[in-house]
Structure 1
Amino acid sequence: MRRERGAPRDGWDKIIESQGIAYHRAAHPEGLNRPYWDESVHYVFSMDEVEALEAQVEELHAMCLQAADHIVSTGRFADLAIPDWAAADVARSWERRDPHLYARFDLRYDGTGPAKLLEYNADTPTSLVESSVAQWFWLKDTHPDDDQWNSVHERLIDRWGELSLPAGPVHFAWTSMDETGEEAMTLAYLQETAEQAGLTTAAIAMEDIGWDELNRRFVDLDGQMIRSAFKLYPWEWMLADAFGRHAVRHATWIEPLWKALLSNKALLAILWELFPGHPGLLPAYLDGPRELTSYIAKPLLGREGASMRIVTPAGTQETSGSYGQEGYVFQGFDALPDFDGQRPVLGAWMVADEAAGLGIRETTGLITDDTSSFVPHRIERS
C-alpha cells in the first residue's frame, strides 16, 4: 500500500458531477484547501493485499453476525440503548433473518498487517457513489491496465434480484433533512441498481410517508400501500419517531430492523468480549476505559466523527457534536497511519455477506469526519 500523486483529469469536476457526485461542493465546507473528491492523489495496492483484506472483512462480518445472535439470545438490548418496547421486534427481525442489502466497514490499515476494525456502518452507509461508480471511471480513464477492488455495482444488482420482497413497487425513501444532496444521490443510485435488477420502484421522502390508521398500513402520497422500502434513515431515528412503533411491525424495510444491532458502536465492545485479542479488533469496553491508557470514547449512536474524545498520555482531543446521550464505548486508540501527512481510513463494502469493494477517505486529523476527502485507489498489475 502506497500513496501516489497524479494529475487530475481535465474537467474532473464536471465528470464526477455527471456520474452522480453533484454534491461534492456542498459536502465540503468553504475554506478547506482540498476538494471533497481528490484525484490528485490515490492509493496503490497489490493483489495479495486486497485478497487478504477481502478475507479479513468477510471474517469480521461473520463475527458481527455471531455478535448479533449473542445480543438476541442473551437479551442485551439495553447495552445498545434499544428501547424496551422494540427489543422483541428486533429479536424477531433477526430470527426471521429479514433481508439485508449492504454495509461498510471502516478500517485502520497501513499495509503491514491485519486491518483493525474501527466501526461498522451497517444501516445507512454513504460514499457509495464515489466507491462504486466514480472511482471506477477514474481508473478506466487514468490507469486502464490496472484493476480495482470494486464489484459493488454488479453485486448490488445481483442482490436486489435475490431478495424476496412483497409485491408492488419498492419505495426508496430519503429525508428532507439532507442539506447537501448526498443522500438523495445515494438513494437515486441504489434505486437505479434495483431497477436494473428488474424491480419496480418509487421515490418518496420519509416525511411524506403516511400511516393509514384504518387499514393499518403505510402509504405514499398517492395512497398506495408501501409494502417494502429502502431507507437512508437510521433505525435509531425511526424508533424515536411517532410512527416507530408501526414501522417495526409493518412493511419490509431495507436495511432491516436487526441492523440496529450492528450499526451501534456497542458492537465493538461485544465483539471484544466474544473474540478477545482477535488481530482484527481493538480492545473496547462499555463500562469505561479499564486498562487502556490511550483510548477513544465514541457515542453509541454517533455519526460522522462527531462527539468523540481521544485520550492519550499526551493529552485529550475532542470533536464537537450533540451525540452521546445513550452512552459511549471506549475503544483502544491506535492512530491512523500517516501517508505524506494524510491519514486514510479504508471503507470496505459488503453486499449481502460478501466483500465487494473499497473506498478511502483521508484527513490530516486523527478522526475522519464529513470534511475528509475521498480519494480513489487501484490495484497494480504485477
Structure 2
Amino acid sequence: MKKIQCAERHDWKHTAESLGFLFHTIDGEPYWDESAYYQFTLKQIERDLEDPTAELHDMCMDLVARVVHSEELLERLSIPAPFYDMIRTSWLEGHPHLYGRMDFSYNGSGPAKLLELNYDTPTSLYEAAAFQWGWLEQCIERGLLPKHADQFNSIDTKLHQAFAQLQVNQPFYFASMKDSIEDKGTTDYLRLVAEKVGIESRHIDVEDIGLTSEGRFVDLEDRWIPHLFKLHAWEFIFHEPFGAAIAKSDTQFFEPAWKSILSNKGILPLLWEFNQGHPNLLASHLDTDPGKAVPKGWVRKPFFSREGANIELQTADGLIVKEGGPYTDAPFILQEFAPLPKFGDSYTLIGSWVIGDQAAGIGVREDNSLITKDSSRFLPHLILD
C-alpha cells in the first residue's frame, strides 16, 4: 500500500461538473483529490480487504437474525420498542437491500480492523463507484498510468445487478434532504442506475413526502409512492411524526427497516461479543460512564453519530482528539483504538463497499485528523503488482 503523487487531469473539474459531480469541492476545499492515488497489490486487496469484507458481512447478517428475535438485544441497541415488530417483519419477509459500507483501519499489512458499519445511508458512493473508475480509464488512455493498472471496483456493475433483481415495475422514488448537494448527488446516481435497468424513477425531497388519511405515502401530486429509497436514517425516522405510519403503509422502503440494526454503533459490541477475538474486529463494549475521560488506547462513539460527530479518542501515548456535534444524549460505546495509517500529513481510511451481499470495491478517504469527517478528501486507488 503506497501513496503516490501524480499529475491531475487538466480538465477533471469540467469532467466532474458535466457528469453532475457538483460536490467535488466543499466550502472551497478539495473533496475529490487526484493529486495522488493509493496503490495496492492484488494480494492486499483480495486477502486483506475483499475477503474480510465478505466474511464480516456474513457475520452481520447472522447477527441481524439473532437480534430480531431478541427484545433484549433490540433494547440494547436503543431502538424504540414500537418499531420492533416492523424491523422483525422486514427481516423475516426478506425485504431486499442494496448497499452498505464498512470503514477500516488498514496500513497495507496485517488484518484490516473494522471501525464501523455504514449500512443504512452511506454516501461517497458515486465517487467510489463511477468517478474514480473514470479517472483510472482516462489516465490509462492518456498514458498517465500503466495499461495493466486495475481497480477493486465492481460497485457500479453490482448495483445494476441488484436493481435488476428487484424486478420493479412501478415508479421508484429516490429521496434526499432538500439542501444537501452530496445527498442529491448520491440519489441521482442511484436513479441513473435504476433507469439503466428499465425502472421508472422519480426524485422527491424527504420534506415533500406526504401521508394520506388512508395511511399511504404520496408525492406532491398525491401520487402513491410504491418504492422509496430514502437517504434519511432510520434512527431519525423512528422519532419523526410519520415514522409510526410506515409499518402499515404499502410502500417498500430502501434500505429496509432491518438495516437500522446495522447502522447503529451499538452493533459493534455485539459483533465482538459473539465473535470475540476475530482478527478483523476491535474490542468494543457499552460505555457505562460516558462522563469519564476516555481511557488511553480507546475511542468513545455515540450509537447514532454521523460523519465523525461527537467522537473522542485517546491514543496510547495520551494524545486526545475529539469532534463536537449534536449527539450528546445518545448511548455511547468504547472501542479499542486502531490508529489510521499516516501518509505525509494525512490519516487514511478505507471504505469497503458491499452491494447486495457481495464485497464490491473500496474508496479511500484522507483527513488531517485521526477522525474522518464528511469533508475528508476522497482519493482514487489502483491495483498494480
TM-score, reference length from structure 1: 0.94
Q: Indicate yes or no: 2:345 matched with 1:345.
A: no
Give the corresponding residue for 2:178: 176
Give the corresponding residue for 1:73: 69
Given residue 232 of structure 1, which amino acid in structure 2 is its aligned partner?
A: L
Give the corresponding residue for 1:249: 248
Does the 8 A contact of 1:238 with 1:247 survive in 2? Answer: no
How far, CA to CA, are the matches of 1:61 and 1:172 in structure 2?
A: 25
Does the 8 A contact of 1:289 with 1:330 survive in 2? Answer: no
Equivalent positions of 1:304-323 (< 5 A) are 304-312=307-315, 313-323=317-327
Does the 8 A contact of 2:23 with 2:31 survive in 1? Answer: no
Give the corresponding residue for 2:217: 218
Give the corresponding residue for 1:355: 359
Give the corresponding residue for 1:105: 102
Deviations 1:238-260 (A, max 9, x none): 11110001123321000000000
How far, CA to CA, are the matches of 1:366 and 1:183 in structure 2?
A: 24
Does the 8 A contact of 1:285 with 1:331 survive in 2? Answer: yes
Deviations 1:26-55 (A, max 9, x none): xx234x5xx111101110011111111111
SS at match of 2:127: helix
Does the 8 A contact of 1:107 with 1:347 survive in 2? Answer: yes
Deviations 1:114-135 (A, max 9, x none): 1110011000111111101111
How far, CA to CA, are the matches of 1:324 and 1:150 in structure 2?
A: 37
Q: Indicate yes or no: 2:24 matched with 1:29.
A: no
Unaligned runs of 5+ in 1: none
Deviation at 1:289, TM superposition (A): 8.6
Given residue 44 of structure 2, which amino acid in structure 1 is its aligned partner?
A: E
Give the corresponding residue for 1:193: 193
Deviation at 1:326, TM superposition (A): 2.2
SS at match of 2:111: coil
SS at match of 2:131: helix
Does the 8 A contact of 1:300 with 1:324 survive in 2? Answer: no
Give the corresponding residue for 1:146: 149
Equivalent positions of 1:34-53 (< 5 A) are 35-52=30-47, 53=49
2:86 pairs with one of 80, 86, 89:
89
Given residue 362 of structure 1, which amino acid in structure 2 is its aligned partner?
A: E
Deviation at 1:288, TM superposition (A): 4.2
Change (3 A) 1:311 1:205: same
How far, CA to CA, are the matches of 2:295 and 2:356 in structure 1?
A: 34
Given residue 212 of structure 1, which amino acid in structure 2 is its aligned partner?
A: T
Does the 8 A contact of 1:36 with 1:374 survive in 2? Answer: yes
Deviation at 1:311, TM superposition (A): 2.5
Deviations 1:84-122 (A, max 9, x none): 111111111111121100011111111111111001100
How far, CA to CA, are the matches of 1:151 and 1:324 in structure 2?
A: 38
Given residue 151 of structure 1, which amino acid in structure 2 is its aligned partner?
A: S
Equivalent positions of 1:262-301 (< 5 A) are 262-288=262-288, 293-301=296-304
How far, CA to CA, are the matches of 1:356 and 1:282 in structure 2?
A: 23
Give the corresponding residue for 2:142: none
Give the corresponding residue for 1:231: 230
Deviation at 1:207, TM superposition (A): 1.1
How far, CA to CA, are the matches of 2:338 and 2:50 in structure 1?
A: 22
Give the corresponding residue for 1:365: 369
Q: Report the number of matched residues.
A: 372
1:59 pairs with one of 32, 55, 59:
55
Deviations 1:2-34 (A, max 9, x none): 110001111222222223321122xx234x5xx
Given residue 193 of structure 1, which amino acid in structure 2 is its aligned partner?
A: V
Q: Indicate yes or no: 2:115 matched with 1:115.
A: no
Deviation at 1:263, TM superposition (A): 0.3
Does the 8 A contact of 1:299 with 1:308 survive in 2? Answer: yes
How far, CA to CA, are the matches of 1:210 and 1:86 in structure 2?
A: 20
Once superposed, which parts of structure 1, at least 4 consecutive aligned residues long, lie more than 4 Å away?
288-292
How far, CA to CA, are the matches of 1:82 and 1:289 in structure 2?
A: 20
TM-score, reference length from structure 2: 0.93
Comparing 119-128 with 9-18, which one deviates more in the overlay? 9-18
Does the 8 A contact of 2:299 with 2:313 survive in 1? Answer: yes
How far, CA to CA, are the matches of 1:156 and 1:292 in structure 2?
A: 41
Residue identity (%): 38
Does the 8 A contact of 2:287 with 2:331 survive in 1? Answer: no
Change (3 A) 1:82 1:177: farther
Deviations 1:193-218 (A, max 9, x none): 001111111111111111111x3211
Does the 8 A contact of 1:104 with 1:122 survive in 2? Answer: yes
Does the 8 A contact of 1:284 with 1:329 survive in 2? Answer: yes
Deviations 1:151-186 (A, max 9, x none): 111111110011154x520111111142xx111111
